[in-house]
């Protein structure tokens, strides 16, 4: 089994797992997180250019890197990871979530999901990006 690109791992997996125990049902359960991730994969594939550009921007935080190469790798992986039936996508998401846990409240999940109803890919990712960047920042390993 191939290891997903760290970029793609951070693309979708963090949308939905947590590092600490949920507080009184405010956090998504593992099953909810996996389902939300699996349902988001085809949406990312539908808007693959915007999705990968957004994730590269979030991941690099303006660092001098080969953005086109990172986007290209993301696009290739998304062509595979964004396809398949729900069970296959859930299996991918379960692996990613286990590797990169993140705390996502039900309110945050609702906000992220609402972005998918926007009229265009660009507007969807303009909505999604700041929310995901904040979640990813909160889940980033702490510097020693």
In a domain, 118, yes or no: yes
| Residue 12 belongs to some domain of the structure | yes
Per-residue pLDDT of 88-118, as tens digits, reads 999 999 998 888 888 899 999 999 999 999 9
CA distance 12 to 102: 11
Helix axis angle, 30-46 to 67-81, nearest 10°: 110
Instruction: Please report whether residue 46 resides in a domain.
Output: yes
Domain for residue 1, yes or no?
A: no
Domain annotation covers residue 144: no
Are 8 and 78 contacting, i.e. CB atoms less than 8 angstroms apart?
A: yes
75 in a structural domain: yes
37-57 residue pLDDT tens: 999 999 999 999 999 999 998
Stated pTM of the model: 0.78
Domain assignment present for 143: no
Nearest to 128 by CA among 44, 64, 2: 44
Range of the domain at 31: 6-138
Total domain count, the chain? 1
């Amino acid at each position: 089994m191939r290891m997903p690109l760290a970029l793609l791992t951070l693309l979708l997996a963090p949308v939905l797992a947590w590092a600490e125990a949920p507080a009184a049902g405010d956090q998504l359960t593992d099953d909810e997180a996996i389902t939300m991730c699996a349902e988001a994969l085809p949406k990312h594939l539908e808007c693959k250019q915007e999705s990968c550009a957004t994730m590269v921007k979030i991941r690099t935080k303006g660092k001098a890197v080969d953005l086109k190469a990172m986007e290209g790798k993301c696009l290739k992986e998304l062509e595979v990871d964004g396809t398949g039936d729900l069970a296959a996508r859930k299996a991918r998401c379960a692996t990613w979530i286990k590797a990169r846990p993140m705390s996502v409240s039900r309110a945050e999940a609702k906000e992220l999901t609402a972005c998918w109803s926007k009229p265009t890919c660009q507007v969807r990712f303009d909505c999604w990006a700041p929310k995901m960047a904040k979640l990813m920042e909160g889940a980033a390993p702490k510097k020693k």
